[in-house]
Amino acid sequence: MPVPSVRAARVPALAKINLTLKVLHKRPDNYHELRTVFQTISLGDWIDVEYRPAKTTRLHVDCNPEIPDNIILRAANAVLHEMRLKAEVHFHLRKRIPMGGGLGGGSSNAAAVLLALPALAGKRVPIDTLTRIAATLGSDVPFFLCGGTALGLSRGEELYPFPEPGVSHGVLVTPRIHVSTPLAFRRLRRHLTIPHNSRIINSFQSFSWEVGDNLPAASWREFCQNDFEEVVFRQHPEIQRLKKKLISSGASVALMTGSGSAVFGFFPNRPDAVAAAQVFPDAESVVFRTVKRARYRSLWWESLEAHALDHTWPPLSRYAE
């Protein structure tokens, strides 16, 4: 069968929120030890990918506004290198996820490239290899190779499946404030020494045993905590005001995600979420629902239908020998 000159797909890159985020001690490598629960949500970017085998690698990302040092290029170079392939790849990024909001937009874009290119190129790259590459690109990138709800340990790159809440409706509010993640970590003033019992968080542990599938995320109030709130709210009191406004608009839980600046709130149903979103200026708020792992994978299978075998994860190329 002749090799087609171009293989193209439009792939999803969903955002994440942190349902809980605990920062423990600083590590000798200057990263911090985390205990977090990641959750994919329906807000996402789309990436059009056009792949052509070539004698020399040429990559291009088309995005408005342009993103300097786009992580998409680093991800593409890394996975092409792993596959020992040279190619011309054109990416058109339709950016919907606000940048610098703690929503993992760049990380999700990078993971999307790691999932898409092997399927288009006709190579099998096992999930543990993709995870290793993902962790070199950023601590949050491996999560987007899984999706759904996952417990993140270590830098956040060591992932385990976590009981998935029932699909929950939420409002995300993204103020125009860029919080620097390294600076937010520094402001936490965590030390290198491991405080007594800090590796184990009993409340975290007992909650993870108690939650059953389909308990709505809105019932997770006791569990939803973010250690960054204190330091980021001190610096930017307007973010705390947004959180309070979500609660006064009827949110059962409201929390900042990652190191901010976005905050989300969960509502009993979609109409309540839509009504609450109207309290915020349009540019700032978006209604979302949580996306379970099965749905996350289905989105990928639909996007790569022409190139990958159904129900394989990571999507396995139809062209692979």
Catalytic residues: 16, 140
Q: Is the Cα torsion angle 270, 142, 102, 45 positive or negative in sign?
A: negative
Instruction: Work out the angle at residue 43's Cα, subtended by the Cα atoms of residues 310 and 149, and round it to the nearest 5 degrees.
Output: 65
Select the residue interacting with ligand C5P from 10, 94, 132, 155 (CB under 6 A).
Answer: 155
Q: Map residues 202-241 to x or -, x wherever contact with ligand C5P holds by CB under 6 A.
A: ----------------------------------------
**What does DSSP assign to residue 50?**
E
Give me the residue label for tokens 């942190």: 18
Residue nearest to ligand C5P (CB): 139
Rounded to the nearest whole angstrom, what is the least distance from the CB of residue 164 to ligand C5P in the complex? Answer: 23
Terminal Cα-to-Cα distance of the chain (whole angstroms): 13
Select the residue interacting with ligand C5P from 13, 14, 34, 232 (CB under 6 A).
Answer: 34
User: Which CB, 17 or 211, lies closer to ligand C5P?
Assistant: 17
Select the residue interacting with ligand C5P from 162, 185, 220, 228 (CB under 6 A).
Answer: 185
Q: Map residues 255-294 to x or -, x wherever contact with ligand C5P holds by CB under 6 A.
A: ----------------------------------------
Listed residue (260, 35, 275, 281) closest to 158, CA to CA: 35
Q: How far apart are CA 278 and CA 292, in angstroms?
A: 26
User: Which CB, 185 or 267, lies closer to ligand C5P?
Assistant: 185
- Which residues in 110-149 contact ligand C5P (CB under 6 A)? 138-140
> Could you give the C-alpha distances from 149 to 33, 73, 165, 221, 293, in angstroms and in order?
19, 27, 8, 16, 7
Q: How far apart are CA 145 and CA 60, in angstroms?
A: 23
Rounded to the nearest whole angstrom, what is the least distance from the CB of residue 24 to ligand C5P in the complex? Answer: 9
Determine if 181 is a binding residue for ligand C5P (CB under 6 A). Answer: yes
CB burial class (10 A; 0-12, 13-18, 19+) of residue 103?
buried
Select the residue interacting with ligand C5P from 28, 68, 182, 237 (CB under 6 A).
Answer: 182
Name the token pair of 92. 């058109």
User: β-strand 32-53 against 7-26: which pairing, if any?
Assistant: antiparallel
Rounded to the nearest whole angstrom, what is the least distance from the CB of residue 3 to ligand C5P in the complex? Answer: 36
**What does DSSP assign to residue 196?**
T
User: Which CB, 140 or 227, lies closer to ligand C5P?
Assistant: 140
> Could you give the C-alpha distances from 293 to 19, 105, 110, 176, 280, in angstroms and in order?
15, 18, 18, 30, 30
User: Which CB, 105 or 265, lies closer to ligand C5P?
Assistant: 105
State the residues that interact with ligand C5P by CB under 6 A. 31-32, 34, 138-140, 155-156, 181-182, 185
